[in-house]
Structure 1
Amino acid sequence: MGADRQGGARRRPVRAAAYGVCGVVLLAGCASMPDSGDLRGVDSTPRQDTQVRVFAMPPQKNAQPPEIVSGFLEALTSDDPNYTTARQYLTSAASQAWNPGLSTTILDNGPGTGQDRSDARDNLSFTLTGTRVAKVDAQQSYEPDSGPYNALVHLARDKTGQWRIDRLPQGVVMGKSDFQRNYMSVNKYYFASTTTSGAPAAVADPVYVRRRVDPMTQTVRSLLNGPTNWLNPEVRTSFPTGTALGKGVTSLAPDDQNNLTVPLNASAARVGTAQCEQMATQLLFTLQNLTTAIEQVELRSGGRRLCTLSEDRTATVATLASTAHTGYLYFIDAKSRLVRIAAGSPSTSAEPVPGALGEGAKALTSVAVSRDESTAAAVAADGRELYVSSLVSGGSLGNPVLTSQGKAEQTRFTAPSWDSQGDLWIADRDPAGPRLLLLRQGKGHPLEVRTPDLNGQIEDVRVAADGVRIALVVAKGKEKSLLIGRIERGGDKGAPTVSVLELRSATPELEDITAMSWAGDSRLVVVGREQGGVQTMRYVQVDGSTPDGPAPAALTGVKEITATESEGLPMAAYSDDGIVRLGSGGQWQKVVSDGKAPVYPG
């Protein structure tokens, strides 16, 4: 599974690959290699059962250069924790200089190899070729990539007369199918640094770890190393600088009571109870991506217990979107009223919301309900006016809080979105002055959000529950892309500033995004088209990777879609069939024929 779950309970079954070994497969360098300069792909290893660990064979005596290169590339896709077998294909000096953890280059297919010309009898070189699709950096952060891949591998005879690789690129390289077999996405969790009140919001930071090489210990080390560069400016960690696992700790595992003890080094020795409980909360949120087998964390340093925290107490320390309660699914009915159905209810009977928006006096085109479900924002049917109204009986609609000057509906307001701090976001698409706007607590003078990296027109806005990340559908020419940006808040109370920075694509394979919604702490559901393809619905990660697991059931004519970060609630959509929702059996079911703009809070 990927970093976000497909549904069901918050605590999910343990990843079998992480802790059990049912067998060992010896991988004998089976990819064939050419003796001449022709190019041939090194076939990606077939997908293996997740409980089977794959190890490579060392080089055979008097192996020829093509076999050395082939065996080395195969060894890179094995489950050897320290690449011990892969290093046997290198000279001693090359092994010492090679850092496989520096990066992982992912190609569309396994790397092709071509032997280059060489005048020296004992010196040969091969060129690795392919098409790049992504890269995982030294922080284990995934980033989509593109373009040709070319890297030189040089061979020479060692002191015993055996061919070995003496020069090679840093990091590892493999095909996409091997990457999917060898790695899995895990959310690390840090805290939003700009939380204004109450418990801090936990922010997911997805990384890729090797699936069958003690992923629990890998993930904890990655958490202690701190957030990835992209997220770092707007989050904080509770672990003191320099915190690492204690000396001699090579592996972590829960005991038979589902308790995990984490020994830390001296950098954590002086933390107080409150800070320690935040550290334990980060660990529990993070490790529950991996296993159900942890219900309590105990932190120790220098043989002394620092604190113990159980899973049921994490909610008092920090908020996590995927465990938040959602009361209702909302939509606009045929009478232009904002109506609601209890979240998760099989009922198809909706009731008007309390207050002016439930009375239908103003025709509406889109809505957003605050995350505490006390207030709603609605755009009038022509897209020109934005209203904010309390969801209490007797409330009046009042005057619009914003008005767009766009000359047509498609050049006026997008649908609005609320963040976890109670602020309202919306984009004005007026060509004469396109803007991304923020209304503090949904009222007052709008703050124009800085978007220095934006290249295109914002067509849709969805803020993550953590208030640190924002998803934007951006149109440029005929293409509509899904971009994820980092929200940075600055200035002071008198002159606050808000920026959306370092926009990056979450859907590099799609060129026409129709609808999207957050569907997990680091996952979204999107509706779009590939080049020359038909409309499709799929899950994507914020880093642009595709999570494991099936896509949602197909649905035609989707215009809008909504999901929640929390578990167990059905996805809902506005399609050619009206308002529909994804039932527990994995099939779409009609709620009402006449309705639009379905939304969960957010």
Structure 2
Amino acid sequence: MSNKTTKVTKVKKVLSAVAGLGLLAGCSTLPDDTNPEAISSYAPAPSGQEAPTPTDGQPSDLLLRDFFTASAHPLRNHQAAKRFLTGSMQGRWQSDAPTMVLDRIDIASDGPGDDSKITYRVRGNIVGTLGVGGVFDPQYSAFETSYEMQSVDGQWRISNLPNVVVLDRQDFVGTYRARNIYFPDLNGRALVPDRRWIYTGQQSTAASLVSLLVAGPQDRLKKAVRNLIPEDATAQVANDDEGDPAVHFTGLQELSPDARRLLAAQVVWTLAGSEVRGPYELTADGTPMSDEMHGKWLVQDLSQYDPNVQVQAPLRAVSGGDIYQQDGTRAQKLEGWLSQQYVESVALSPRDEIYAAVTGRGDAPRQLMIGAKGDQPVSSVQADSLTRPTWGLDATSAYVVADGERITEITRNPETGAVGERQVDSSTMRMVDGNEKRISVFRVSHDGARAVMIVNGRVYVVTLETTDDGTKRLGAPVEIGHAVGDTAVSADWSDDGSVLVGTRANDAPVWDIEVDGSYSQQITGRNLSAPVVSVATDGSKIYVTDANALMQFDVTSEESRFWREVPTMQGKRATPVLAD
């Protein structure tokens, strides 16, 4: 029986020490003076880098570069950036227009200039756009436009520019941070992260986070999560008399006690995950948020909603059609129905240890079989090919892709073990480029709200939306793996919500990619040989199957520099299996 614990890992810290930096960008378009839901101040002072200002006698090209740096500070309608414009242009420039993040900003003069005017061509590659509420939309396309400058009283100023905010991604390292806003899944059993970018110069991180909660989930998530806060509700964030954060809601009269507790979980885990320490005072319309809690809330009071919880189960591996479970210093072959047919791939449910196994080999059809290790399995989907199965939040639903295109949800009755099949509406796949769109990998996130898929070697994330009749539908696919191109072979979810990707590229065999596509990081490939056909992680180790063996990398040790074979599977080429 698998149990769950919360574990703090050093994955990002260690990987940063051994890997190169990839795509990094992020921003919030929610400036400090934006007040969508009557949010008051909580923190005493802003943080972050200071915006540059024009200096006397500054050369035109350097002034233009400082303008782009100042554009990363959105306060007061980009007042810092407007200091670099002529007086007339300050009133005409629409700084609330689309915001683009470039991998770099190259500046070169466009034709001859003189002491009074000059034009520059600005070039770069767009890595993403920034939407309302700090939503990052990944993309990759060329950017090129002109900026005209003129001398005003002997000082260069920008006299003509496009109505767009252009940002160099390096400016985000010191001025923006990614934060998770949490919303409950449709069944109210888990918290789903909604990744946003927050400007670090805000006076109050807590107020910014709560304002985003009140504003609701981003569009891509709206049909996969619940929004408990009514449209006319407001919130105020302040310090209480003891200096602890206090959030006071109004307009929650219609919320049930269960909904209020779920809202408390949203607030507490959102704040705690962004280093706003509790305990937390929460009120609704002047009374405690919940009748059962008359004091302040701690994360321990809402541990059942912990979004960082990890399923703790021993490593299993598939090799030569058999499943092995790691038992100390040896690997033991699993018996029962799992040993009576050739297992090509398998998924283990996060609860109850239910196996979903794809059986068959060679030219024979593939069959999905589902059941506990000691029970009689139930047969389900059959096709010429099946992807590795994937479980949702628990053992009541699993997913598989048949013949690279038909996505099926398999529902399972936990009492009887009976299964049913429902086709997933994948009509949004038409938005993916290419004629023949073959899905080779489909893996559902731990909270059941999203899936990562590989289509023709490219990495996409989709939301699993629920329709009015209860069936599933894919949201719009978003390509997050521009850094890996079409080299992706395998993918799975990390415990922190990012995506591990294995590729067929020897120089970059494993990547860690954030769910919004804002950040890609190459993980060390020392002692790996591409292709990496399988990836998995339990928060302390990363497991991959390369061209030779089942390999592991200890992410909790800062001394780790090489991938090593899993000792219990030496001599066998195997694929890792961890509980979904």
What is the TM-score normalised by the length of structure 2?
0.77
Which of 158, 165, 178 pairs up with 1:185?
178
- Alpha-carbon distance in 2 for matches of 1:210, 1:68: 23
1:229 aligns with: 219
Which of 424, 433, 455 pairs up with 1:474?
455
Q: Does 1:324 find its partner at 2:329? A: no
Alignment of 1:40-59 (within 5 A): 53-59=48-54
Q: Does 1:600 find its partner at 2:573? A: no
Moved more, 412-421 or 578-587: 578-587
SS in 2 for 1:371: coil
- Alpha-carbon distance in 1 for matches of 2:513, 2:147: 34
- Alpha-carbon distance in 2 for matches of 1:512, 1:424: 27
- Alpha-carbon distance in 2 for matches of 1:521, 1:155: 46
- Alpha-carbon distance in 2 for matches of 1:145, 1:306: 41
> Would the alpha carbon gap of residues 443 and 182 (structure 1) be closer, same or farther in structure 2, given more than 3 Å must change?
farther
1:205 aligns with: 194
- Alpha-carbon distance in 1 for matches of 2:253, 2:522: 41
2:247 aligns with: 262
Q: Does 1:128 find its partner at 2:122? A: yes
**Mapped contact 2:465–2:473 kept (Cα < 8 A):** yes
- Alpha-carbon distance in 2 for matches of 1:255, 1:526: 48
Moved more, 89-98 or 125-134: 89-98
The offset of 1:515, in angstroms, is 1.3
2:269 aligns with: 285
- Alpha-carbon distance in 2 for matches of 1:10, 1:517: 18
The offset of 1:462, in angstroms, is 0.5
> Would the alpha carbon gap of residues 294 and 550 (structure 1) be closer, same or farther in structure 2, given more than 3 Å must change?
farther
The offset of 1:500, in angstroms, is 1.2
> Would the alpha carbon gap of residues 562 and 94 (structure 1) be closer, same or farther in structure 2, given more than 3 Å must change?
same
Moved more, 104-113 or 51-60: 51-60
Q: Does 1:385 find its partner at 2:380? A: no
Alignment of 1:189-588 (within 5 A): 189-193=182-186, 195=187, 199-211=188-200, 213=202, 215-246=205-236, 259-264=244-249, 266-268=250-252, 273-291=257-275, 294-300=277-283, 305-306=288-289, 308-316=296-304, 318=305, 320=307, 322-333=308-319, 336-341=321-326, 347-353=328-334, 355-357=336-338, 360-382=339-361, 384-393=365-374, 395-397=375-377, 400-404=379-383, 406=384, 412-421=385-394, 422-429=396-403, 434-441=405-412, 444-454=419-429, 455=432, 456-475=437-456, 480-492=457-469, 497-510=471-484, 511-529=486-504, 534-546=507-519, 555-557=528-530, 558-564=532-538, 568-583=539-554, 584-585=556-557, 586=560, 587-588=562-563
**Mapped contact 1:136–1:143 kept (Cα < 8 A):** yes
> Would the alpha carbon gap of residues 426 and 12 (structure 1) be closer, same or farther in structure 2, given more than 3 Å must change?
closer
1:148 aligns with: 142
The offset of 1:223, in angstroms, is 2.7
The offset of 1:503, in angstroms, is 0.7
> Would the alpha carbon gap of residues 548 and 187 (structure 1) be closer, same or farther in structure 2, given more than 3 Å must change?
farther
- Alpha-carbon distance in 1 for matches of 2:160, 2:213: 33
Runs of at least 5 residues in structure 2 that lack an aligned partner in the other structure: 1-5, 14-45, 291-295
- Alpha-carbon distance in 1 for matches of 2:12, 2:448: 29
The offset of 1:99, in angstroms, is 5.8
The offset of 1:295, in angstroms, is 3.8
The offset of 1:512, in angstroms, is 1.2
- Alpha-carbon distance in 2 for matches of 1:269, 1:161: 62
1:26 aligns with: none
Which of 98, 109, 129 pairs up with 1:114?
109
- Alpha-carbon distance in 1 for matches of 2:241, 2:525: 37
> Would the alpha carbon gap of residues 352 and 285 (structure 1) be closer, same or farther in structure 2, given more than 3 Å must change?
farther
- Alpha-carbon distance in 2 for matches of 1:436, 1:299: 42
**Mapped contact 1:77–1:182 kept (Cα < 8 A):** yes
> Would the alpha carbon gap of residues 356 and 550 (structure 1) be closer, same or farther in structure 2, given more than 3 Å must change?
closer
SS in 2 for 1:296: coil
**Mapped contact 1:187–1:522 kept (Cα < 8 A):** no
The offset of 1:114, in angstroms, is 3.4
Moved more, 481-490 or 435-444: 435-444
- Alpha-carbon distance in 2 for matches of 1:549, 1:295: 35
Of structures 1 and 2, the one with the larger relative CO (CA 8 A, separation 6+) is 2
Q: Quick one: which amino acid aligns to residue 316 of structure 2? A: Y
**Mapped contact 1:103–1:172 kept (Cα < 8 A):** yes
The offset of 1:69, in angstroms, is 3.0
**Mapped contact 1:122–1:156 kept (Cα < 8 A):** yes
> Would the alpha carbon gap of residues 451 and 133 (structure 1) be closer, same or farther in structure 2, given more than 3 Å must change?
same
User: Over the residues paired in the alignment, what is the CA RMSD in angstroms?
Assistant: 3.7
Q: Quick one: which amino acid aligns to residue 114 of structure 1? A: S
C-alpha deviations, 1:186-233, integer Å up to 9, x for none? Answer: 22111122x2xxx42211111122245454443333233221111122
- Alpha-carbon distance in 2 for matches of 1:114, 1:178: 23
- Alpha-carbon distance in 2 for matches of 1:254, 1:168: 46
- Alpha-carbon distance in 1 for matches of 2:54, 2:105: 20
C-alpha deviations, 1:375-395, integer Å up to 9, x for none? Answer: 1011124172324343253x2
- Alpha-carbon distance in 2 for matches of 1:280, 1:204: 15
- Alpha-carbon distance in 1 for matches of 2:370, 2:262: 36
**Mapped contact 1:519–1:525 kept (Cα < 8 A):** yes
Q: Quick one: which amino acid aligns to residue 68 of structure 2? A: L
- Alpha-carbon distance in 2 for matches of 1:179, 1:306: 36
SS in 2 for 1:146: strand
The offset of 1:177, in angstroms, is 2.3
- Alpha-carbon distance in 1 for matches of 2:359, 2:273: 41
- Alpha-carbon distance in 1 for matches of 2:181, 2:350: 23
SS in 2 for 1:453: helix
Q: Quick one: which amino acid aligns to residue 570 of structure 1? A: K
- Alpha-carbon distance in 2 for matches of 1:12, 1:284: 24
Q: Quick one: which amino acid aligns to residue 578 of structure 2? A: Y
Runs of at least 5 residues in structure 1 that lack an aligned partner in the other structure: 1-6, 15-50, 407-411
**Mapped contact 2:319–2:573 kept (Cα < 8 A):** yes
> Would the alpha carbon gap of residues 90 and 437 (structure 1) be closer, same or farther in structure 2, given more than 3 Å must change?
same
SS in 1 for 2:137: strand
**Mapped contact 2:112–2:118 kept (Cα < 8 A):** yes
**Mapped contact 1:72–1:86 kept (Cα < 8 A):** yes
- Alpha-carbon distance in 1 for matches of 2:116, 2:543: 65
- Alpha-carbon distance in 2 for matches of 1:97, 1:520: 46
**Mapped contact 2:184–2:262 kept (Cα < 8 A):** no
SS in 1 for 2:428: coil
Q: Quick one: which amino acid aligns to residue 238 of structure 1? A: L
- Alpha-carbon distance in 2 for matches of 1:484, 1:364: 27
**Mapped contact 2:511–2:520 kept (Cα < 8 A):** no
- Alpha-carbon distance in 2 for matches of 1:177, 1:57: 15
SS in 2 for 1:109: coil
**Mapped contact 1:559–1:574 kept (Cα < 8 A):** yes
- Paired residues in the alignment total 515
